[in-house]
Amino acid sequence: MLVLISGRGSNMQAMVEAGLPVTAVISNRADAAGLAYAAGRGIATAVVAHGGYATREAFDAALAQAIDGFHPDLVALAGFMRILTSGFVQRYEGRLLNIHPSLLPAFTGLDTHARALAAGVKLHGCTVHFVTAALDHGPIVIQAAVPVFAHDDETRLAARVLAQEHRIYPQAARWFLDGKLVIENGVVRIEGDHPQQLYAP
C-alpha cells in the first residue's frame, strides 16, 4: 500500500506501526515531517511538489505517474491537503481511502473541530471512507465517535479525535488488504461480523 501525506504524517506512522505493508509514501510538500519518519523506516519516499504544475490536471497526472511506479494495491490519503481531480479519483476508484476528522456527512471540508465546537455537537469523531469525486463524500468504512466536553477547546478536541484516527485508519486499511470490504449501493459491508464504529469516552 502507498500513503499520500502533506505534513506530520501521524496517520501514516500509525499504519506503519500497526504492521501494515506501507511500501511508499508520497508528499506534495518537500518539508512534510512524515517523509523523514518513512525514510527512517526504510520506506520509499517521493515528493511531487504541487507548486511545479500550472494546473490541477498536470499535478494529478504527475502524481499518478509517481504512484503507479510503485504499483500499489491501496492508496491511502492521510492528511493529503490537495483537492484531487475527478480523473485522478476515477483512476484509483475502489482502492483510494481517506480519513476525515469529523463524523461524515457532518463537517466536510476544513476546520472541522472548530466548526463542531461552534455547532455545539455533543459527539464528534472521524471517518474513513472510499474517495469519490465529491469532496469528503464516498462510502463510509468505519467511524469513531468521541465526546465533546463543555470546556473543550479545538486543541483538546483535535487530540481526542486524532487518537481515534490512529485506531480506525489501520483497521480500515487492514480490512481492505484482506479483501473484506464490499461496496453495495454506495454502502460498505465488511465481510464477517465486525463492528463498523467505535466510541471512545
- Judged by CB under 6 A, does residue 137 bind ligand GRF? no
* CA nearest neighbour of 142 among 74, 198, 88: 198
- Judged by CB under 6 A, does residue 25 bind ligand GRF? no
- Judged by CB under 6 A, does residue 84 bind ligand GRF? no
Contact 95, 2 (CB under 8 A): no
How many positions of this chain bind ligand GRF (CB under 6 A)? Answer: 13
Catalytic residue IDs: 100
Q: Whose Cβ is closer to ligand GRF: residue 7's or residue 147's?
A: 7
CB of 1 to ligand GRF, least distance (A): 15
The only residue of 75, 162, 172, 190 in contact with ligand GRF, by rule CB under 6 A? 162
Edge-to-edge strands of the sheet including 44-47? 44-47, 24-27, 2-5, 75-77, 96-100, 123-130, 140-147, 197-199
**Residues of this chain, 50-79, that bind ligand GRF according to CB under 6 A:** 78-79
List Cα–Cα distances, 113 to 9, 127, 140, 162, in angstroms.
19, 13, 19, 11
- Judged by CB under 6 A, does residue 101 bind ligand GRF? yes
* CA nearest neighbour of 144 among 157, 167, 126: 126
Give the containing element (helix H, strand E) for 163: helix 154-177
The only residue of 4, 5, 141, 146 in contact with ligand GRF, by rule CB under 6 A? 5
Contact 100, 140 (CB under 8 A): no
Q: Whose Cβ is closer to ligand GRF: residue 64's or residue 162's?
A: 162
Residues that bind ligand GRF (CB under 6 A): 5, 7-11, 78-79, 99-101, 162, 165
